[in-house]
Amino acid sequence: MVELAKTAGFCYGVDRAVGMVYDLLEKGKKVATVGPIIHNPQIVSDLAEKGVIIVNEPKEVPKGYVLVIRSHGVGKIVTDEAEDLALELADATCPFVKKIHRLATRAGEEGKVFLFFGDADHPEVMGVVGHCTGEYYVVKNESGLYELWQNNPDLAQKSIFVAAQTTFNTNEWKNCLKTLKKLCTNHEVFDTICNATVLRQAEAKILSENSDVMIVVGGRESSNTAKLFSICNENAETYLVETAKELPNLEGSLKIGITAGASTPASIIKEVLVTMSDMNQIAEQNFEEMLEESLKSFNTDEKVRGIVVGITPTEVYVDVGRKQAGFVPANELSQDPNVRPEDIVKMGDEIDLLIMKTNDQEGTIMLSKKRVDAMKGWDDIEAALESQEVLTGKVIEVVKGGVIVLSKNMRIFVPASQATTSRGEDLNGLKNKEVNFRVIEVNRGRRRAVGSIRSVLKEQRKAAQEKFWTDIQEGQRFTGKVKSFTNFGAFIDLGGVDGMVHISELSWNRVKHPSDVLSIGETVEVFVKGLDRENGKISLGYKDPSQNPWEKLEKEYPAGTVCEATIVGLTDFGAFANVIPGIDGLIHISQIADRRIEKPQDVLAVGDKVNVKITEIDFENHRVSLSMRALLEDSQAEAAKADNGEAEVVYSTEAE
């Protein structure tokens, strides 16, 4: 019995590179490749017969040739040289490899060490190294990692980016990462092993465990073929062949498994299958049927994994390892309608997808990313409901009755009553903001999840209040926002806790209403005048003590001073007059005139400017007594004195 691995043969990157060369030849182009386009001597030989030449560096390319960069990629110096020489370039670098190039460059730009697991002599690794802009190291295996650390003990203190060759052995990778955790904690791991490699190696392991003999088909120079051989050889007698001519003579009723490296063309796999069938005298299975089985049409609602190979404003193209061309419409990429495709995925990204519709006639598959994400999200959301974990999400829409929060790739509806701390607030202010919330209801059947922002805000406010009351002291200064007004003062939000500035504390001048001094929403500097911890009340001061007019009054306007004052108020018992800004004094009705008057309004009106004498100052109770009558009496006394003096002089003259 012969069984062929489903993942045998060309991977996406190799198929793309080889196809690019053949396509250029069909267009009549002359082609040169940097190194062999593929690690398969048969393909390389066929291309050589068609005129394809192999060069080591751009300056070797003859005039008129197109230079193809193979899927392994090259260092930046190679592409820079090609551009300097004005060569026509066709870049077939595998998207997975391109991703590693970007990581290598980024590590240097961020001042981090780039640690790369792979074979230093492999073209892919040499190309990656050519994109390193800072400190880097190439390690082949776990023992090489230990050796690196022994020779460079300071690495344990550095920040490290960790990546691997796309064809690196997955088991070795796991062992290396386990060891790295013991050696260093400040490292960031990027899983750059190609998904096709992972699947190929995993399938080879399972197939070899269930086979008597394994045949690995591929070029002896191929790294991924060598790794397949190593994996299979651990479980079964294994042979590595490049063509059917190298097959061993296997007789008897053996169970034979066949796998092939990523650089092995379908024609060679077919030749091996047919030869094995003849050897074992079994009914030959149509190879085309076997291939078609691996290329079978997908069923709708089937999950697949693909690699991003193209991005446009309206859709993303993906390779899912089958004959159909996969595409994801922009509205199937994310639950957030405001994001662009390039914000969600990048070239070479590997993503999980759900098949929405197949079109065998056109050879296309319509796929969805957001639906797969939503499937994963339900479990997370239900777990969050159970644990009452606080989640973070972005408000992407304001809808009738509430807002939509995107979190864990799920659309969570937050009713208006649960969106803010108080009802009636404008929800539009939440749009595009990051918010914390709890899940309060999940109904998978109705595809509905409900959350509450308010419950988290209340908890946060309560925690802030407790800390606030623990720390606050009299005299402490705060920056707060004016929240609301009453006739007797203004309430200031100090950050989760409100304090009140009494109207008398707003200004040294007379204030009719807090709005004369402050505006709602204004940021102000205040200080704590008094605390009532039992009732949770805070009295605040706002006016500047350095501008205290009573200090000015004491220095410049002692009792007995005569000054001009403005009448600002009239009562039955007297008139209030402004002496200096911030201080009003009382002119008692008995001190307004030198005669009896019925009421102050008979003599004075608001706005009148009058001369007064400061007769008494009560600094403790902030009271000033004024008198107009005292000035009149002083004036009369002066006049009388003057009159008496003049009379005496006249009498003396007459006596003479």
- Which helix (H) or strand (E) element contains residue 479? strand 477-486
- Per the residue annotation, which of 3, 26, 60, 124 is the catalytic one? 124
CB contact at 8 A, 508 and 549: yes
CA distance 7 to 320: 12
- C-alpha 289 chain-centroid distance: 48
Q: Classify residue 247 by burial, with Cβ atoms within 10 Å: 0-12, 13-18, 19+.
A: middle
Look at residues 530, 513, 519, 533 and name the one whose alpha carbon lies nearest to residue 481: 519
Residues 6+ apart with CB under 8 A from 1: 253, 254, 255, 256, 280, 282
Query: What percent of the chain is helix, strand and coil (3-state, nearest 5)?
Result: 35, 30, 35
Instruction: DSSP letter for 441, please.
Output: E
- C-alpha 436 chain-centroid distance: 14
- Please name the residue that has the structure tokens 């939509």: 404
Q: Other C-beta atoms within 10 Å of 254: how many?
A: 16
124 noted as active-site residue: yes
Instruction: DSSP letter for 417, please.
Output: G
CA distance 374 to 381: 10
In three-state secondary structure terms, 259 is strand
DSSP string, 264-282: --HHHHHHHHHHHHHHTT-
CB contact at 8 A, 89 and 79: yes
CB contact at 8 A, 10 and 295: no
Tokens linked to 488: 């007797």
Tokens linked to 439: 């899940």
DSSP string, 346-382: -TT-EEEEEEEEEETTTTEEEEESHHHHHHHHHHHHH
CA distance 224 to 589: 109
245-251 — which CB contacts under 8 Å span 24+ positions?
247/215, 247/272, 247/275, 247/276, 247/279, 249/279, 250/213, 250/276, 250/279, 250/280, 251/279, 251/280
Residues 6+ apart with CB under 8 A from 555: none
Tokens linked to 441: 């209801």
Tokens linked to 508: 């040294």
Residue 531 dihedral angles phi and psi, to the nearest 5°:
-130, 135
CB contact at 8 A, 35 and 67: no
Q: Other C-beta atoms within 10 Å of 522: how many?
A: 12
So which residues are the catalytic ones? 124
